[in-house]
Structure 1
Amino acid sequence: MSTFEAALGLPLIHAGKVRELYAVPPVNDRDAILIVTTDNISAFDWVLDSQIPDKGIILTQLSHWWFAQLHDLVDNHVLTTEVPDVVAGRAAICEQLEMIPVECVARGYLTGSGWVEYQKTGSVCGVALPEGLNDGDRLPAPIFTPATKAALGDHDENISFDRVVELIGFDRAAAIRDLTLAIYARAERIARDRGIILADTKFEFGVRPDGSIVLADEVLTPDSSRFWDASAWPNSLESFDKQYVRNWLLHESGWNKDSDTPPPPLPDSVIAATRARYAEAYARLTGEVFGDQEY
């Protein structure tokens, strides 16, 4: 059983790594689903045994804040935030859309899997980049580096724009590429003004019955983005996202990510530090302190 299924008493449609989708009646004549964000955290395609307290609320509220900043660029899937009390703050009733099967990644800085690919090929997802770049460098211009959206337990795979065209057609591929880069440009400026570098981020889009494209799922959160401290860059890539958890798993836990063994539970200190990073990202971006967090 999922985290909230018993408490909600609603039909569960799907339970993902972090989100649970429930069937609800239509809203304003639009087919709807209840999307609940749990406190689960995933890394390297595993859902960890440990949870991060309040994480689901932070992700949901930050997504709503970003939707408001982007409303003139693209419609979003939220129909109402009036939800059952048991999931208040961590859920929304959203349009049921035909989801586009592409992870829409925008990169303004070179790091992560993009850095790994660049070292091998000098490019990322077929986009050629200048020679001599280092991990953490700002790119000459943001790039669209899509990926296939993998099933639970599988790895997302970086793909070229040409492959996206093969999957969904040129017009729709061009539309999500242009939206991805426009949203990133807006968000990067907003974050930079608040002392955060938005290194990269990923979006998901859905399609309404009339063919219009809608921004869906979470947006510009510490789960879907790399947030760096602008005052420390480029000397440090100190982050306000789940890279902290990845680093602990890779360098301190003793776990081998290439094995079939599940990752170990997170120590209390790592859980607390991760929550603090998520809450600080929320506070820096929105200007509102989350809960009792102090900085």
Structure 2
Amino acid sequence: MTPTSDLPGWRHVYSGKVRDLYVPADTPDGVSAERMLVVASDRVSAFDHVLSPGIPDKGELLTTLSLWWFDLLEGGDGGPAVPNHLAPDSALSDDDEPVRLVPAEVAGRAMLVRRLDMLPIECVVRGYLTGSGWAEYQAAGTVCGIPLPAGLENGDRLPEPIFTPAFKAELGEHDENISFERTVELVGEHAAHALRDASLAIYERAARRAAQHGLILADTKFEFGTDDQGVLRLADEVLTSDSSRYWDAEAWARGGTPDERMASFDKQIVRDWLAAHWDRTGQPPELPDEIVVRTADRYRELLSRLTR
């Protein structure tokens, strides 16, 4: 199935870097569908480019992990329920028999979701200093404009998690880090505070869960939308290898070089190889087989460790 092909009962309407969006085939043009199908592909992106080849089984691994986290955050860990975008994957036919709505062609890599008005904010939470935050800290002592104590090193735990939102860019463009004040301007004060509070609370909850399995959740990003009742709902993917940095807690505690300290269970392997072999001009090179295999293995290991 190509990213733009239709599925039985569904019509393709949009493709992002990794996910493809479908609406029921009988949805009239210009009408918002109440239910949609989100299909995770095996595509992998880095530095705002979709790379080739993809990571085998990545779509299924991401979907499985997202569904696991959605279930846990709905109260599966005993905590308060976080509303999300999932809709029941069945309907009753005329003879009251349930009918599966997710086509067999994408079973395991698709989520049936309700329509939301998505907020244009990437809700990034950072608990550790790394990535673009480390680069900014070296230059200015800040991360996304937030002052941090002097003397921190790459991979250090921050005094407390920080909310560093970004404005979501169009496909192929770079997301723009923004201040909380700019977030207020974009979505209003009430929504901005709700996004920040929800993001920090979910991060803390997920970080505790990861720690129980010998993992550090260094940072992550969330997306939210509101339903027709105005309820804020967690959407898209959640706490996956694509949207988060996970490190091995034992390796981090041992210290050593940044590579030894921040043994990752995400696509950092791809980022590191690309940064070493591409100057970010023109089209990125193809990923070698060894990088593809290593990345797939780390994605599988993360799912196994978290859900065992």
Of 137, 160, 178, the residue aligned with 2:179 is 160
Structure 2 unaligned spans of 5+: 28-32, 75-79, 90-99
Distance apart, 1:94 and its partner CA: 0.1
Kindly report structure 1 stretches of 4+ aligned residues shifted beyond 4 Å: 6-9
Q: Is the 8 A contact 2:40 2:110 kept in 1?
A: yes
Establish whether residue 106 from structure 1 lines up as the match of residue 114 from structure 2.
Answer: no
Provide, for residues 226-284 of structure 1, a one-character-per-residue CA deviation record: whole Å limited to 9, x for no partner: 01111100431110100100111122xx3222x1x211111111111110000001001
Q: Provide the rounded CA distance (Å) in 2 between the counterparts of 1:170 and 1:73.
A: 23
Shift of the 5–206 alpha-carbon distance from structure 1 to 2, 3 Å rule, reads same
SS of match in other structure, 2:295: helix
Structure 1 unaligned spans of 5+: 288-295
AA in 1 matched with 2:37 = L
Of 264, 289, 294, the residue aligned with 1:239 is 264
AA in 2 matched with 1:36 = V
Q: Provide the rounded CA distance (Å) in 1 between the counterparts of 2:283 and 2:8.
A: 29
Q: Is the 8 A contact 1:2 1:15 kept in 2?
A: no
Q: Is the 8 A contact 2:83 2:233 kept in 1?
A: yes
Q: Provide the rounded CA distance (Å) in 2 between the counterparts of 1:48 and 1:145.
A: 26
Establish whether residue 274 from structure 1 lines up as the match of residue 292 from structure 2.
Answer: no
Distance apart, 1:125 and its partner CA: 2.3
Give the alignment's TM-score, normalised by structure 2: 0.87
Of 272, 278, 293, the residue aligned with 1:255 is 278
Q: Provide the rounded CA distance (Å) in 2 between the counterparts of 1:215 and 1:189.
A: 19
Q: Is the 8 A contact 1:125 1:161 kept in 2?
A: no
Give the alignment's TM-score, normalised by structure 1: 0.91
Larger Rg: 2
Establish whether residue 286 from structure 1 lines up as the match of residue 307 from structure 2.
Answer: yes
Structure 1 vs Structure 2: percent identity of aligned residues? 55
AA in 1 matched with 2:60 = I
Distance apart, 1:4 and its partner CA: 6.0
Q: Is the 8 A contact 1:125 1:145 kept in 2?
A: yes
Establish whether residue 201 from structure 1 lines up as the match of residue 226 from structure 2.
Answer: no
AA in 2 matched with 1:148 = F
Indicate the residue corresponding to 1:217 in structure 2: 236
Q: Is the 8 A contact 1:77 1:215 kept in 2?
A: yes
AA in 1 matched with 2:270 = V
Q: Provide the rounded CA distance (Å) in 2 between the counterparts of 1:6 and 1:13.
A: 9
Q: Provide the rounded CA distance (Å) in 1 between the counterparts of 2:2 and 2:15.
A: 7
> Cα RMSD between the aligned structures?
1.6
Of 87, 91, 94, the residue aligned with 1:79 is 87
Distance apart, 1:6 and its partner CA: 4.3
Establish whether residue 40 from structure 1 lines up as the match of residue 43 from structure 2.
Answer: yes
AA in 1 matched with 2:278 = W
Q: Provide the rounded CA distance (Å) in 1 between the counterparts of 2:48 and 2:153.
A: 26
Q: Provide the rounded CA distance (Å) in 1 between the counterparts of 2:149 and 2:123.
A: 22
Larger deviation, residues 64-73 vs 8-17: 8-17
Provide, for residues 155-179 of structure 1, a one-character-per-residue CA deviation record: whole Å limited to 9, x for no partner: 1111110110010111100001000
Provide, for residues 186-210 of structure 1, a one-character-per-residue CA deviation record: whole Å limited to 9, x for no partner: 0000001101100000000001111
Shift of the 68–9 alpha-carbon distance from structure 1 to 2, 3 Å rule, reads closer
Provide, for residues 117-149 of structure 1, a one-character-per-residue CA deviation record: whole Å limited to 9, x for no partner: 222222222322111111100011111010111
AA in 1 matched with 2:88 = T
AA in 2 matched with 1:60 = T
Distance apart, 1:9 and its partner CA: 6.2
SS of match in other structure, 1:141: strand
Indicate the residue corresponding to 2:195 in structure 1: 176
